[in-house]
Amino acid sequence: MDWRDVTVYVNGDEYTKTIPVQMTLAEFLRDELFLTGTKIGCNEGECGACTVILDGVAVNSCLVLAVHADGKNVLTIEGVSEGELHPLQQAFLDAGAVQCGFCTPGMIMTAKALLDRDPAPSREVIRKEIEGNLCRCTGYNRIIDAVEKAALMLQKR
């Protein structure tokens, strides 16, 4: 097997590991760092459960090699709260946007990347932005409500 040393900055912490090149970023986060908030649903870019923010943009961590995160910043669901829950996390709870919760980390990372770029998105923009995140439980409307609520909370800050 082809192995590499990588240093990845995850949620502000530096991690150096020796890993095989075929390891995906999702596997690296879960199996090497034990950050199991990032979920693996399909492993092929369809479900969005594995979404993390890589150098500022949302990506499917199942389609990124861990070695390609070498030297880069990764933000996962474990890194979004700042002491208390992040407004997105709070709004998801308040709006009833969490049922089984499997899609929630990915949804929140996609929503965070959106709000970082566009602090006041319309419902249409939110709906389009979460097109790559599947949810089998909520019917999506409450998730869109939650992202809207979180945007308002963040704007008031």
Q: 63 vs 125, which CB is nearer to ligand FES?
A: 63
Please check whether residue 143 is in contact with residue 92, taking contact to mean a CB–CB distance below 8 angstroms.
yes
Closest approach of Cβ 51 to other proteins, in Å? 6
Residues 120-139 interacting with other proteins (rule: CB under 8 A) = 128-129, 131-133
Q: What distance in Å separates the CA atoms of residue 92 and residue 140, rounded to the nearest whole number?
A: 11
Q: Which of 37, 94, 137, 153 binds ligand FES (CB under 6 A)?
A: 137
Is residue 46 within the footprint of ligand FAD (CB under 6 A)?
A: yes
**For residue 152, what are the contacts with CB-CB under 8 A and spacing of at least 6?**
none
Query: Bridge-partner residues for 17, per DSSP?
Result: 6
Secondary element (H or E) of residue 152 = helix 141-156
Total of residues contacting other proteins (CB under 8 A): 33
Q: What's the token pair of residue 52?
A: 């993390």
Closest approach of Cβ 132 to ligand FAD, in Å? 7
Residues 56-95 interacting with other proteins (rule: CB under 8 A) = 57-60, 62-65, 67-68
The beta strand positions in the chain, using DSSP E, are 3-10, 13-20, 51-54, 57-60, 73-75
Residues that bind other proteins (CB under 8 A): 1-2, 4, 20-24, 27, 43-46, 48, 51, 57-60, 62-65, 67-68, 110, 113-114, 128-129, 131-133
